[in-house]
Amino acid sequence: MPVLVLLIISLFIGPYAQATTLLSIVDELSLRALESTFDAMKVESLLDGSGKQLTMSERRSAAVLVSAGILRPSDVDDESSVITAFERFKLASIAKNDHLMGPFGDAVTLSRLDKIGDHQELLKEKSFINSLHELLSKGVITGYDLRKANISAGFDPRRTLTYSHSSVVHLKQLNALLKSENINGLLYAAPKISAFLFRDEWGVPGDNVATLKDGTRVVNGREWVVFFEFDTAAAKHDFHQVVTRYAKKDDENEQGLIADSWWQPFYYSETNIEGFEHINLILLRSDTTEATLTVLRDKVESVTAALSDQSLDMTIEDVWVNKPFYRFLQGGYK
């Protein structure tokens, strides 16, 4: 778990981190009276064969926490998993929950995607944005995404993919597509700003390309950061297969794709997925926002050295990206 996340846990969880047993967690959440309504049959059904080593009182507490969505049955057999799940629940209250759209394929999710919010708060970060543009001009970085600070706190990395796109229409269609493919989970979304160096081989610059004072051309975008938190870890691979088939452009006029599909879809996982490529995510933070830099592993040392004189909080994380985006980081177009 990254150092910053551990710091957040210590600040926001405080005494909750000491709640190391099922019984005490139930008390912390004021769920004790609920236990009296759970008979043995309901407990057995909720635990789905887990927790057989526990006392009946502990099993009832575990069942309450499963029913409340704090734990999954598989967490119950391992105390560290119980503690981690509870810590993640507390973190969700300061970041994750603000951006919940809803379950995949649910009508309320479709409706909320039309009301994600705008980018105005992020655009107010002029000093931070100017410092990032200076890094682009110097060639220290090739691009960045700017989003709310600590927005990814509280997600289960085993079951979550972070996705980016500039089209709400695309996200609405992808949301329904996942449900049609029997992939289940919860969708979270929030505004983000993207900027990256324009490449001459891309042709004539569009209206979204700005020229900095030194002549550096930068593509500016208003996008969305999306967290797909799946019901199971295996569904991350299923998602990848769906995107590859229905949301990745391979030909200019390709048919059978959802709206606004990209040549190089951008999504990453904090855990390894077969066929994905290992890179690093560098996070630079101001008080309210964070810039994420996707960096090839052999370039991390030079990038961090160039950033060492910046008065910004910096952390480095291991992530795994799909091959098309990995080719983009290497300079590829498709």
Q: What is the mean pLDDT of residues 130-156?
A: 89
Domain that residue 262 falls in: 99-329
Q: Are strands 185-197 and 217-230 parallel, antiparallel or unpaired?
A: antiparallel
Confidence class of residue 262 from pLDDT cuts 50, 70 and 90?
A: very high
CA atoms of 73 and 48, how far apart (whole Å): 6
pLDDT of 309: 77
Q: Is the same domain home to 141 and 228?
A: yes
For the chain, the straight-line distance linking the first and the last C-alpha, in angstroms and rounded, comes to: 33
| Furthest CA-CA distance within the chain | 72
Residue 334 covered by a domain? no
Residues β-bridged to residue 285: 290, 313
Q: Is the same domain home to 10 and 142?
A: no
pLDDT of 2: 53
Residue 193 covered by a domain? yes
Q: Which amino acid is at 168?
A: V
Helices assigned H by DSSP within the chain: 3-12, 22-28, 32-35, 40-47, 56-67, 79-92, 107-112, 120-123, 126-137, 168-180, 235-246, 300-307, 323-329
Q: pLDDT digits over 43-90, tens only?
A: 999 999 998 989 899 999 999 999 998 999 999 988 888 988 888 888
Confidence class of residue 6 from pLDDT cuts 50, 70 and 90?
A: very low
Q: Is the same domain home to 21 and 138?
A: no
Q: What is the pTM of this model?
A: 0.81
Find which of 71-75, 136-140, 180-184 is predicted with most confidence, using mean pLDDT. Answer: 180-184
Q: Which residue has the tokens 């008065």?
A: 311
Instruction: Indicate the number of domains in the chain.
Output: 2
Q: Is the same domain home to 321 and 226?
A: yes
pLDDT of 333: 62
Percent of the chain scoring above 70 in pLDDT: 92
pLDDT of 21: 79
